[in-house]
Amino acid sequence: MPRIRHPWPRRFRPGEPFFLQWHLTSACNLRCGHCYQPGEGDGRSPRPDREQVRQVLAGFRSLRPRAPFLPARVQLAGGEPLLAPRLFEILSLIRGEGLPVRILTNGTLVGAAEARALAAAGVAIVQVSLDGLEETHDRLRGPGAFGRALAGLRHLRAAGVSTTVAMCLSSANLADLDGVMALAAREADRFGFSRFVPCGRGGDRAATVLPAARLAEAFGAVQAAAGRFPGLGLPRRDPLWNVFVGQRCPSPYAAGCSAGQSGICVEADGTVYPCRRLPLPLGNAYETSLADLWDHPLMVRLRDRDRLRGRCGRCLIRWRCGGCRGVALAVTGDPFGADPQCFDRPTLLENVARAARSLVEAWNPPLAGGG
């Protein structure tokens, strides 16, 4: 089938800040079977020295002018980032760059003292993983993990730190989605989910990837939660939100796939990926500037949505969505293939009709006051 010309400009317009996701350590106190990190997360994790830390920050500084229209931020992850020996030194250096920082943690090591220290360090948001209610979470992450994570979440809120509950969604925990959102409404400031991508230690769990129809149900549940829990922030960053809200107008939430577009990932050993869930190495941040790695041929290709294949390559909103490249790679073996979880199945005629409606509405906006 010939490629269909779409009415939107061939330019990615992210709705998220330009970000560096920096995995400070692969060491972790948990052994979650669905983790995207390989290995056992033990104490043999590489640790960036001071010069390497400064090199990464300088590299991100040089890269930020590539997206001058976007704010920038740093996300610190692991492993478990609270096990990183230079965490607070690194936080101080990031603050010196004038960048907001988020920490992605399992929450189990956050006591009252740690929460106060993170608040004093100026951490903007701490994201705590809760992959289900107690029984499910402990089955996925280990006995007692739920109680410790919930305690950590409460310590953070008591210290005045803004918090997000994050859920990695699969068939192993979909039944708990409503319950976790209700918990988040009581215990946190916002709730978000990411799709399970079978890579790393989770590479043998591809059978738990949600079928497209079930994923659509999950999107519907999150959309409904906006009415049920009006005080709960619901960041909707998955590219498929563009499909869920309809193709006739840009999603007010979703930024599209960030790989090669609005983010870059650095591992503790310096390995750089387009996204941690797209484990195709670009080089090493301790040897090559992030600005140079941004121009790696893979990154250039990821920025060209006309190179996508299958349904994603034919889709009229590929430049606003693009599907998840990590899921495409993990499930199909092709990082440019169709997102196998996409729940949009329009015919060509429906796509053309949607495009036509979009153009009519764009040229004939409603008058102020609804007249």
Q: Which helix (H) or strand (E) holds 179?
A: helix 177-187
Would you state the pLDDT for residue 350? 53
SS3 129: strand
User: pLDDT tens for residues 316-362?
Assistant: 889 889 999 999 999 999 999 999 999 876 544 454 455 555 555 65
User: pLDDT tens for residues 163-178?
Assistant: 999 999 999 999 999 9
- Of 112, 74, 102, 276, the C-alpha closest to 189 is 102
SS3 150: helix
Q: Which CATH architecture describes the domain 18-299? A: Alpha-Beta Barrel (3.20)
Confidence class for position 268, pLDDT limits 50, 70, 90? very high
- Four-point Cα dihedral 141, 142, 148, 154, nearest 10: 20
Is a pLDDT exceeding 50 seen at residue 57?
A: yes
- Select the more confidently predicted residue: 243 or 133: 133
Q: Count CA atoms closer than 13 A to 53's CA, side-chain side.
A: 20
Map out the domains of the chain as residue ranges: 18-299
Would you state the pLDDT for residue 366? 53
- Select the more confidently predicted residue: 357 or 126: 126
* Angstrom distance (rounded) from CA 362 to CA 356: 10
CA angle 236, 237, 241 (to 5 degrees): 70
Is a pLDDT exceeding 70 seen at residue 52?
A: yes
For 183, 241, 256, 318, the CA distances from 321, given in Å and listed in that order, are: 30, 8, 4, 5
Would you state the pLDDT for residue 2? 44
Confidence class for position 81, pLDDT limits 50, 70, 90? very high
Phi-psi map region of 296: left, alpha, beta (phi>0 left; psi -120 to 50 alpha) = beta
* CA-based R_g, the chain, Å: 21
Token pair, residue 348, equals 């060509």
User: pLDDT tens for residues 185-203?
Assistant: 999 999 999 999 999 888 8
* Angstrom distance (rounded) from CA 59 to CA 264: 11
Would you state the pLDDT for residue 243? 87
Would you state the pLDDT for residue 251? 57
Mean pLDDT of the chain: 88
Would you state the pLDDT for residue 348? 42
List, as one string, the DSSP characters of 12-57: ---SS-EEEEEE--S--S---TT-SS-S---TT-----HHHHHHHH
Phi, psi of 173 (to 5 degrees): -140, 5
